[in-house]
Amino acid sequence: MASSGLRTAVSLVALAAAAQALPRTAVSPVVKRQQEAHTRLGCFVDNANNVRLLGGASTASDDMTVAACASFCSSFQYFGLEYGRECWCANSLSASPVDDADCSFPCAGNSAEKCGAGDRLDVYLNDEYAPPTGVPSPATLADFEYLGCFTDSGNNRVLRGIATFDSAMTLEKCAEICSAYSFFGVEYGSQCFCGVDLDDSSEEVPQAECSMPCGGDPTNVCGAANRLNLFVSTSCKEDPTNLPTVGAFAYQSCWTDNVNGVRSLDGPVLRGNDMTVEKCADFCAGYEYFGVQYASECFCGNQLGGEAAPEDECSHICGGDASQWCGAADRLNVYAAEPTAP
């Protein structure tokens, strides 16, 4: 028994020595999960009127996760996930959230996370986003001269022609939209305004007040809240006019429309981005009145409601002919049928 116990003790000592002789394997330290560098803002409607809420950049993947989208959009201020597998980025967000229940799709790469739904975005703010350093003047554009940073407001726009919103706005895109106008301006990272002249009440302010990156080009600036980066065309553009007569119609005045939801002309309507006064006159042949509105709309009628408005409130150029006026938002350039000879 004693001999057996001695052998057991010797064996244990040998095993211990052998263990000490073996090379040691490094033990990986425990890595703590870093705090997420983004904040969820809620569920938002996307693709309303075929306009993307976040249109700066996008990607899609069958293994999409919140972290993957955050990484893809790391150079943008906002990112959003949609339809389980889509990721969208932008530097501006002009919308309010809807019910969280509308964003119900699990992420394709992590079913524990939500990734929006059809036309619904789970939107996040990139907490580590840093805008470009300094406040550069906007890039030089061919055929346009940069005028500076100007005050602007919803009640008194500097430019009263057509206006559009695009979360992927760039200077080049706005210049193209306003190609028929003498002026264009970008504002709030995503807004584009056109005009044939300037409102005199606007004031130039320091360039530093126009500091928001363009939604579609974060290396460039696109105004700020109530601040407009303003450009003027260097090519000669003739001022639009109202035709004294067209077909059997004669021009009357700029006219109010849609007052309290009531149309001034309640007959047939024609819409098209190639609208002209002549096209509207042909469409409304046989009616007592026609009116062109918002650059692309034509209204007919035998009764004229509303009232005359100042001519400068009809400030939109016809989409199909830059030499003609075509009303404005809720403003009609109205023509009336001339009396026929007995």
Q: What is the pLDDT of residues 26-79, one digit of tens each?
A: 333 333 334 678 999 999 999 887 778 887 778 999 999 999 999 998 888 899
Strands 245-246 and 227-233: unpaired
Q: For residue 92, give the DSSP letter.
A: -
- Residues 115-140, mean pLDDT to the nearest whole number: 82
Instruction: Kindly report, residue by residue over 273-331, the tens digit of the pLDDT.
Output: 899 999 999 999 999 999 999 999 999 999 999 999 999 899 999 989 989 999 999 99
Considering only residues 341 and 257, tell me which one the structure prediction assigns the higher pLDDT: 257
- Interior CA angle at 251 toward 250 and 257, to 5°? 125
| pLDDT at position 105 | 97
Considering only residues 198 and 113, tell me which one the structure prediction assigns the higher pLDDT: 113
Instruction: Kindly report, residue by residue over 157-195, the tens digit of the pLDDT.
Output: 899 888 898 888 999 999 999 988 999 999 988 899 999
Is-above-0.75 flag for pTM? no
Lowest model confidence (mean pLDDT) among 132-146, 233-247, 280-294, 325-339 = 132-146
Domain boundaries, the chain: 38-126, 144-233, 245-337
Q: For residue 209, give the DSSP letter.
A: G
Of 205, 247, 249, 250, the closest CA to residue 226 belongs to: 205
Render the burial of 236-256: b for 16+ CB within 10 Å, e for the rest: eeeebebbeebbebebbbbbb
Instruction: Give whole-number Cα distances, 262 to 229, 265, 295, 304, 308, in Å.
Output: 36, 9, 20, 11, 15
Q: How confident is the model at residue 94 (pLDDT cuts 50, 70, 90)?
A: confident
* % of the chain beyond a pLDDT of 90: 56
Considering only residues 199 and 193, tell me which one the structure prediction assigns the higher pLDDT: 193
Give Cβ neighbours of residue 159 (< 8 Å, ≥ 6 apart): 181, 183, 184, 185, 193, 194, 195, 198, 199, 228, 230
Strands 213-214 and 217-221: antiparallel
- Residues 100-119, mean pLDDT to the nearest whole number: 96
| pLDDT at position 135 | 54
Considering only residues 175 and 9, tell me which one the structure prediction assigns the higher pLDDT: 175
Query: How far apart, in whole angstroms, are the C-alpha atoms of residue 299 and residue 301?
Result: 7
Query: How far apart, in whole angstroms, are the C-alpha atoms of residue 53 and residue 312?
Result: 32
SS3 158: coil
Length reported for the chain:
342
SS3 288: coil
